[in-house]
Amino acid sequence: MGLLAAGKALTTEGTEFHRGKSSPTQAKGGLEWATSEVFNNRAGMKEHYNVLFLCTGNSARSIMAEAILNFKGKPRFTAYSAGSHPSGVVRPEALARLEAAHVPTDNLRSKSWDEFAAPDAPKLDFVFTVCDNAAKEVCPIWFPHEKAAGPEPMTAHWGVPDPATVRGSAQEVERAYREAFTILERRIGLFLSLPLASIDKLALKKEVDKIGQQ
């Protein structure tokens, strides 16, 4: 059974999720994932981490986040991105912004989050949503594969205004992509500075949530 096998998608107050064995819980700031132990007592004790960036269309913000983390976090981190309703096309403005920052753009593609619900998908350690709640954008909530073994990924919301919605001059559009890139680059830099080998998992959850507010 994949992510969609249990039924149709549900939408609650701008949050999109799929039925599964777990459910989101109400917390300060909105719906968030009720995580189990991602790493036993400590967040670290690992040599490699897989990170998934989620949004709706997987055409700009999550694509840039994937590229930035793969560039800055290698070889310790491998980043992926996906969308709940992927556009199937990577925005050329996002690619141009990455190239201007000398971030590799090889193999970037717009794809569905279904790929990461398959039994042979990478085991995820973190899932970050980058949709913009302030703009009432429908935001996906990650649910693990029903038969997935091991702990669930730690999640956080890192909302970023969608540059793909900006209409205006070429300079205004370019500025929107530059600002989104800058926000993501700053947050990823903060994430990479966390002492994952020693930090307690509850403290880590607070830190990754705090990064989303930066």
Q: Which residue ranges make up each domain of the chain?
A: 9-201
pTM, rounded to two decimals: 0.78
What class is the 9-201 domain? Answer: alpha beta
Please state, in angstroms and rounded to a whole number, the distance separating the CA atoms of residues 21 and 97: 39
Please state, in angstroms and rounded to a whole number, the distance separating the CA atoms of residues 43 and 41: 7
- Please count the other Cβ atoms lying within 10 Å of the Cβ belonging to residue 76: 11
Please state, in angstroms and rounded to a whole number, the distance separating the CA atoms of residues 205 and 20: 22
pLDDT, mean over the chain: 80
| Model pLDDT, residue 46 | 80
Strand partners, 79: 51
Read off the pLDDT of residues 109-128 as tens digits, 9 standing for 90 and up. 999 999 998 889 999 999 99
Active-site positions read: 55, 131, 139
- pLDDT at 20 exceeding the cut of 60: no
Please state, in angstroms and rounded to a whole number, the distance separating the CA atoms of residues 27 and 67: 30
**Residue 49, Cα to own-chain centre: how many angstroms?**
14
Q: Stretch 38-54: mean pLDDT, rounded?
A: 72
